[in-house]
Structure 1
Amino acid sequence: MKKVLIVEDSLPIVALHKNIAIKAGLEPVIAMTFSEVKALSSQFDDFFCAIIDYSLPDAPNGEAIDFILDAKVPSIVMTGMLDDNIREHILGLPVIDYITKESKQAFHYLLSLLKKLQTNNKIKILVVDDSGSARAYVRGLLLRHNFDVLLANSGKSALNVLKNNPDIKLIITDKEMPNMNGIELCNEIRATHTKDDVSIIGISANSSQSLTAKFIKNGANDFLQKPFCLEEFYCRVIQNIEYIQSIDTIRKQANTDYLTDLANRRYYFNSAQPIMDSLDTSTVAMMDIDDFKSINDNYGHDAGDIVLKTISSLIKLHFEPKYLAARLGGEEFSIYFHDLELEKAVNMLENFRQELEKTKINVGSELISCTVSIGVCQDKKDKLDSLLILADQKLYSAKETGKNKVVF
């Protein structure tokens, strides 16, 4: 478990911070004085980050912050001191964030921040600016929050980076660039990517009041004028990423079977049919759990759910992400092999069948086994429905001739 250093002299706040750290999946280590911080300095390399109060009994002027930052420990400053001069001083340091203990919401924000810091490395952000120093500055700010940062020095370069990294969630682009400015870049991006696919934040040192509207009307989600407030910068970045993540969550819920996390029937048909239209032949497998009703009858529906989840996990292991797998309903599954010879598909399915047959599934106080029957078909049918009917006929043959087999 990653460790977080909590530097705080108030026992009630220490208890609150410890609880927040544990909720975030971190192991809290406490220091209540600057002396205790120094005593822990040999362990600094072990800390994921630190949460530091500004004023300590033996370090009233933020000395602990400088000491920890000098040791390259990523740090969040959380204090009850609201002095503007102190705030400006802290924001001039390379801290992750500065949070004032004004309300309960501040502690909710801290919990959210700690969780995000552990997963932000999976989020790609593209920074576009023709100025190397400007790119480096914004990159440095984003790296404090552990984002995966990509860089482009022109609009054309940005489009190439986006093409090669379709999982980019946020683009931060300057307005003033030669050949293709930031507003023109927004237009180009929106020709292929909607606001639900990727967020764009425009930035500019131009003080024109109309620039915000120009960026947003041309496809940007947000705008910041340089020089920007660091707190506002981070708030805008987080807000735009959370929007994209919310859309991704909604899409996943709409396209995924709630129990097994496989594709659902609608997504399977919508995804497989366009691929099928572009191919001469396709291979489809239909799969059904043998005697599933007896599992529910003998062990209960909770046991049935465990069996479905176990089989789905094995399906993912054997066939995803290269091939499309789905739960069509009940105990019925299907695999679409878009570019695989029939013999190779059958071999993959047979390997899956054999592993499942050997798998012991824990359903509470008992270990049970289960098997599947599988029907496979390769044909030149135009419609997925037609191919599934043929695969289903082979599945019926597998059931009629003893179950727990692959018929093709």
Structure 2
Amino acid sequence: MNKLNVLIVEDSKPILQIHKHLVTNAGFNPVTAETFAEVKALEHMFPDFFCAIIDYSLPDAPNGEAIPYLLDHNVPGVVMTGMIDDETRDTILNLPVIDYITKESKQAYTYLQHLLVKLRVNHLIKILVVDESDDSREYLKRLLNRHNYDVILASTGAEAIAQLEKHPTIKLVITDKELPNMDGIELCNQIRSKYSKDEISIIGLSGADNPALTAKFIKNGANDFLTKPFCLEEFYCRVLQNIEFIESVETIRRQANTDYLTGLYNRRYFFEKVSPEITKRFDGSTNSTLAMMDIDHFKSVNDTYGHDAGDEILKATAQLIQQHFSADYLAARIGGEEFCIFLDTLARDEATLLLDNFRQEMENMSVEVGGNTIKCTISIGVAHCCEDSFDGIMIKADELLYEAKEAGRNVVITD
């Protein structure tokens, strides 16, 4: 991805340097202005700015004049200021700014960098907003759009359930309590009957003056609750916190299920996913296709070039496996230089052709490591059969892999 420009409007040189550093670390290209006049001189670049970090008080604009100017010119703004009085805060938050950060501590700068990183990827995050009121839905959408979220709208609980089925990657649902036919609390129950708290977060909203609503929402499956009208800063913090919870769970799950070196699924995950399918198909007398593959003479690569070179060979092989198989089939590194691919119910001849094309590309692949050009081949055993257990089909594929090794390696052997 090309680096995007971020405008830094700041008259303090030490803070300007800090901002340039964190903007760069967040993956952006910093462009600076120390006065309002310099900001105006950059007007020709405004369409190229991802956003601006705007100091409230400048030598020639002491009352925040640069903020509405940039917003009016469609440059989204994060306001940073040393002024922490409530009047200034309210004035800024009445403008459509991305966020308002006070320069009270080092943590403010950490938060700013984290915000920039999130703003860059938030377009990948889907949020479902459920509210009967057109005005309320649009208001929440505008708030979330400031942070670049992909917002989906629903006016009823039934419509919300339909949207969740249509968009399975939704990470957060924000729902008002007052909905027609099915209120927000019942909607929470409905969502939780299909999705766990690890899969989707829910924030309940209500304008009712009822302290018990928080507990009711949370006891019925919500992760969080806000009373309307809410503080904008709190709203954004709650949204971010709930999305990051889902992302953290996804990261833990991904790390638990994948091989750290190659990024392919690991042995445990592969067994858990494939084993039930093999058992189910045995009951229906349906053949499954499983390929076992092993990099030829891999030990000699480690002995000759070192284990770092061996790791590079493993990673290059895994990348090739992903290119050939990951879109349609399940592939895993099951140990050392051994890989396994579950080819579902693919016919024997089709599987053999597919795997032999992969074998040929592996044979032609070169890996450059430490000034050395390393080439490797791979042997493959393919079982196409109906077994009563995963171990049964694995043993057959492994026996065929052994035959491939005995036949001189760099070959595909099928049953």
TM-score range, shorter chain: over 0.9
Q: How does 1:209-224 map to 2 (within 5 A)?
A: 209-224=211-226
Residues 217 and 225, structure 2, Cα contact 8 Å, conserved in 1: yes
Matching residue within 269, 272, 275 for 1:273: 275
CA distance in structure 1 between the partners assigned to 2:195 and 2:271 by the alignment: 23
CA distance in structure 2 between the partners assigned to 1:179 and 1:276 by the alignment: 44
Partner of 1:184, secondary structure, is helix
Matching residue within 161, 164, 170 for 2:166: 164
CA distance in structure 2 between the partners assigned to 1:277 and 1:229 by the alignment: 54
Q: How does 1:8-407 map to 2 (within 5 A)?
A: 8-279=10-281, 280-407=286-413
CA distance in structure 2 between the partners assigned to 1:79 and 1:352 by the alignment: 58
RMSD of aligned alpha carbons: 1.0
Partner of 1:3: 5
CA distance in structure 2 between the partners assigned to 1:225 and 1:206 by the alignment: 8
Letter in 1 for 2:232: L
- CA offset at residue 132 of structure 1? 1.4
Letter in 1 for 2:401: L
Residues 33 and 57, structure 1, Cα contact 8 Å, conserved in 2: yes
Q: Over residues 19-66 of structure 1, what are the superposed CA-to-partner deviations in whole Å (9 max), with x where a residue is unaligned?
A: 000100100000000111001010011111110001110111111111
Partner of 2:168, secondary structure, is coil
Letter in 2 for 1:239: Q
Count of paired positions: 408
Q: Which structure 1 segments of 5+ residues have no match?
A: none
Partner of 1:30, secondary structure, is strand
Letter in 2 for 1:379: C
- CA offset at residue 300 of structure 1? 0.3
CA distance in structure 2 between the partners assigned to 1:16 and 1:234 by the alignment: 24
CA distance in structure 2 between the partners assigned to 1:250 and 1:128 by the alignment: 29
Letter in 1 for 2:384: Q
- CA offset at residue 277 of structure 1? 3.9
Residues 84 and 102, structure 2, Cα contact 8 Å, conserved in 1: yes
Q: Taking structure 1 as reference, are residues 11 and 318 closer, same or farther at Cα in structure 2, changes over 3 Å only?
A: same
Letter in 1 for 2:166: N
CA distance in structure 1 between the partners assigned to 2:187 and 2:367 by the alignment: 53
Runs of 4+ in 1 over 4 A off after TM superposition: none
- Residues 362-371 or 206-215, more deviating: 362-371
Partner of 1:69, secondary structure, is helix
Q: Percent of pairs identical after alignment?
A: 60
CA distance in structure 2 between the partners assigned to 1:239 and 1:181 by the alignment: 24
Residues 279 and 390, structure 2, Cα contact 8 Å, conserved in 1: no
Residues 279 and 387, structure 2, Cα contact 8 Å, conserved in 1: no
TM-score, normalising length from structure 2? 0.97
- CA offset at residue 278 of structure 1? 4.1
CA distance in structure 1 between the partners assigned to 2:7 and 2:254 by the alignment: 36
CA distance in structure 1 between the partners assigned to 2:352 and 2:73 by the alignment: 57
TM-score, normalising length from structure 1? 0.98
Residues 200 and 221, structure 1, Cα contact 8 Å, conserved in 2: yes
Letter in 2 for 1:182: G
Q: Over residues 112-133 of structure 1, what are the superposed CA-to-partner deviations in whole Å (9 max), with x where a residue is unaligned?
A: 0011111111111111111111
Letter in 2 for 1:37: V
Residues 120 and 147, structure 1, Cα contact 8 Å, conserved in 2: yes
